[in-house]
Amino acid sequence: MKKRRHGACLGLAILLAMLMTSQAWAEDGYDLWLRYQPITDTEALETYRDAISGVLIESESPTLDIAREEISRGLNGLLGGNVPMLSGAPEDGALIIGTPQGSEMIAELDLEGLDQINDDGFVIHSTSVRGEPATVIAANTDQGVLYGVYHFLRLIQTQQPIDDLALVQSPRIERRVLNHWDNLDRTVERGYAGFSLWEWHKLPDYLNPRYIDYARANASLGINGTVLTNVNADATVLMPRYLDKVKALADLFRPYGIRVYLTARFSAPMEIGGLETADPLDPDVRAWWQSKVDEIYERIPDFGGFLVKANSEGQPGPGDYDRSHAEGANMLADAVAPHDGIIMWRAFVYSPVADDRHKQAYDEFVPLDGDFHDNVLVQVKNGPIDFQPREPFNPLFGAMPSTSLMMEFQITKEYLGQGTHLAYLAPLFKEALDADTYAQGEGSTVAKVIDGSLSGDTLTAIAGVANTGTDRNWTGSHFNQANWYAYGRLAWNHDLSAEAIADEWVRMTYTNDPDFVEPVKAMMMGSREAVVDYMTPLGLHHLMGESHHYGPAPWIADREREDWTNVYYHRATRDGVGFDRTSEGTNAVGQYAPPVQEMFEDVDRTPEKYLLWFHHVPWDHEVSSGRTLWDELVYRYNRGVEYVRDMRDTWASLEGMIDEQRYRDTEAYLEIQEKEAIWWRDASLSYFQTFSGQEIPEEYELPAHTLEYYQSLKFPFAPGI
Ligand code: GCV
The DSSP output letter for 721 is: -
pLDDT at position 353 is 77
From 494, 522, 551, give the residue that closes a domain. 494
Say whether both 260 and 156 belong to one domain. no
Task: Report the alpha-carbon angle 481-487-489, nearest 5.
Answer: 100
Domain range enclosing 191: 175-494
Cα–Cα distance, 32 to 49 (Å, whole number): 24
Q: Which atom of ligand 1 is nearest to the CA of 408?
A: 13
* Statement to judge: residues 385 and 451 lie in one domain: yes
Q: Mean pLDDT for the chain?
A: 95
Look up the CATH number of the domain holding residue 226.
3.20.20.80
Rounded CA gap, 455 and 398, in Å? Answer: 10
- Measured CA to CA, the distance from residue 417 to residue 559 in angstroms comes to 23
Separation CA 392–CA 432 (nearest Å): 8
Q: Do both 629 and 698 map to the same domain?
A: yes
* Nearest C-alpha neighbor of 57 from the set 16, 102, 91: 102
Secondary structure (H, E, C), 625-681 = CCCEHHHHHHHHHHHHHHHHHHHHHHHHHCCCCCCHHHHHHHHHHHHHHHHHHHHHH
Catalytic pick among 386, 513, 667, 671: 386
**Domain total for the chain?**
3
Residues 106 and 164 in one domain: yes
Q: How far is the CA of 473 from the centre of ligand 1 (A)?
A: 24
Largest CA distance in the chain: 93
The pLDDT, as a whole number, for residue 639 is 98
pTM of the model: 0.96
Q: Are residues 161 and 184 in the same domain?
A: no
Tell me how crowded residue 624 is: count the other CB atoms within 10 A of its CB: 10
What residues flank ligand 1, with Cβ below 6 Å? 181, 189-190, 231-232, 309, 313, 348, 386, 414
Q: Judge whether 21 lies within some domain.
A: no
Nearest alpha carbon to residue 588 among 613, 609, 571, 605:
613
Give the pLDDT score at 13: 39
pLDDT < 70 positions in the chain: 1-26
Q: Do 316 and 438 lie in a common domain?
A: yes
Q: Are 617 and 603 in contact (CB under 8 A)?
A: yes
> Looking at the domain assignment, is residue 64 inside a domain?
yes
| 37 inside domain | no
What's the pLDDT score for residue 105?
95
- Residue 515 domain-assigned? no
Specify if 719 maps to a domain.
no
Give the Cα separation of 385 and 349 in Å (integer).
Answer: 9
pLDDT digits over 444-494, tens only?
999 999 999 999 989 999 999 999 999 999 999 999 999 999 999 999 999
Together in a domain, 109 and 142: yes
Ligand 1 atom nearest the C-alpha of 315 is 14
Please say which residue of 494, 514, 548 terminates a domain.
494
Asked if 390 and 542 touch (Cβ cutoff 8 Å), the reply is: no
Q: Are residues 155 and 195 in the same domain?
A: no
Residue pair 540/687 in contact by the 8 Å Cβ criterion: no
CA of 231 to the centre of ligand 1 (A): 8
Angle at 503 (CA atoms; ends 76, 168), nearest 5 degrees? 70
| 453 located within any domain | yes
Q: CATH number of the domain at 79, please.
A: 3.30.379.10
Q: How far is the CA of 483 from the centre of ligand 1 (A)?
A: 19
414 catalytic? Reply is yes
Give tens-digit pLDDT for 77-125.
999 999 999 998 889 999 999 999 999 999 999 999 999 999 999 999 9
CA–CA gap between residue 665 and residue 77 (Å, rounded): 25
- Known active-site residue 313: yes
Catalytic residue among 414, 457, 471, 563: 414
For residue 692, report the distance from its CA to the centre of ligand 1, in Å.
32
What's the gap in Å between 306 CA and the centre of ligand 1? Answer: 17
- 410: nearest Cα among 180, 570, 170: 180
**Residue 697 domain-assigned?**
yes
Catalytic pick among 313, 355, 602, 701: 313
Mutate which of 181, 182, 196, 234 to test ligand 1's pocket (most atoms within 8 Å of Cβ)?
181
Query: 645 and 681, same structural domain?
Result: yes
Task: Identify whether residues 443 and 340 lie together within a single domain.
Answer: yes
Last residue of a domain, one of 113, 145, 169: 169
Ligand 1 atom having least distance to the Cα of 313: 14
Cα of 232 to ligand 1 centre, how many Å? 8
What CATH number is attached to the domain comprising 571?
A: 3.90.1330.10
Check whether residue 344 and residue 363 sit in a common domain. Answer: yes
Distance of CA 374 to the CA centre of its chain: 26
By C-alpha distance, which of 367, 369, 240 is closest to 295?
A: 240
Ligand 1 pocket mutation pick from 182, 183, 187, 190 by most atoms within 8 angstroms of CB: 190
Q: Tell whether 88 is covered by a domain.
A: yes
Question: Which atom of ligand 1 is the closest one to the Cα of 414?
Answer: 9
Shared domain check, 209 and 122: no
d(CA 41, CA 545): 48
